[in-house]
Amino acid sequence: MAGPATALITGVGGQDGVYLARELVSHGYHVVGTLQPGSESSRRSALPYLDGVVVRELDLRDAAGFEALLEEFRPDEIYNLAAFSSVGASWDNREHVAEVNGMAVLRMLDSLLRHRDRHGSCARFYQASTSEMFGLSKEQPQTEDTPHYPRSPYAVAKSFAHYLTINYRESYDLYCCSGILYNHESPLRGRQFVTRKITRAAAEIACGVRDRVSLGNLAVERDWGAASDYVSAMRLLLQHDEPGDYIIATGESHSLEQLLEVAFESAGLGDPWRYVDQDPALIRPTDVGGLIGDAGKARRQLGWEPTVRFEQVVEEMVQVDIRRVQSGVEESADYLVATSSL
Ligand code: G4F
Residue 154 is a catalytic residue: yes
3-class SS at 56?
strand
Active site residue 175: no
Say if residues 77 and 5 touch (Cβ distance below 8 Å): yes
Q: Give pLDDT tens digits for 165-188.
A: 999 999 999 999 999 999 999 999
Q: Is the predicted pLDDT of residue 341 greater than 70, yes or no?
A: no
The reply to whether ligand 1 has any atom less than 6 angstroms from the CB of 88 is yes
User: How many Å apart are CA 165 and CA 146, to the nearest integer?
Assistant: 17
Distance of CA 74 to the CA centre of its chain: 24
Say if residues 61 and 99 touch (Cβ distance below 8 Å): yes
What lies within 8 Å, CB to CB, of 261 at 6+ separation is 272
Q: Is 132 in the pocket of ligand 1 (CB under 6 A)?
A: yes
Q: Which CATH class is domain 6-184+226-248?
A: alpha beta
Q: In whole angstroms, give the CA distance from residue 14 to residue 189.
A: 8
The ligand 1 atom at the shortest distance from the C-alpha of residue 284 is 26
Distance from residue 284's CA to the centre of ligand 1 (Å): 10
Q: Spell out the domain ranges in the chain.
A: 6-184+226-248, 189-222+253-286+309-341
Q: How far is CA 128 from CA 31, 81, 238, 283, in A?
A: 18, 6, 12, 25
Residue 339 has pLDDT above 80, yes or no: no
267-277 pLDDT, tens digit each: 999 999 999 99
The region of weakest confidence among 67-81, 149-163, 308-322, 325-339 is: 325-339
How high is the pLDDT of residue 39? 79
Cβ of 215 closer than 6 Å to ligand 1, yes or no, is yes
Does the annotation count 132 as an active-site position? yes
State the chain's mean pLDDT as an integer: 96
Dihedral pair phi/psi, residue 35, rounded to 5°: -120, 155
285 Cβ contact list (under 8 Å, min separation 6): 91
C-beta of 221 in contact with ligand 1 (< 6 A): no
CB 208 within 8 A of CB 270: no
For the domain spanning 189-222+253-286+309-341, the CATH number is 3.90.25.10
- Ligand 1 atom with the smallest distance to the CA of 215 is 39
Give burial (CB, 10 Å; 0-12/13-18/19+) of 124.
buried
pTM comes to: 0.97
- Atom of ligand 1 minimally distant from the CA of 85: 17
pLDDT in tens, 189-221: 999 999 999 999 999 999 999 999 999 999 999
Query: What integer is the mean pLDDT of 25-46?
Result: 91
pLDDT tens figures, 79-132: 999 999 999 999 999 999 999 999 999 999 999 999 998 888 899 999 999 999
Q: Is 220 in the pocket of ligand 1 (CB under 6 A)?
A: yes
Residue 46 parent element (H or E):
helix 40-46
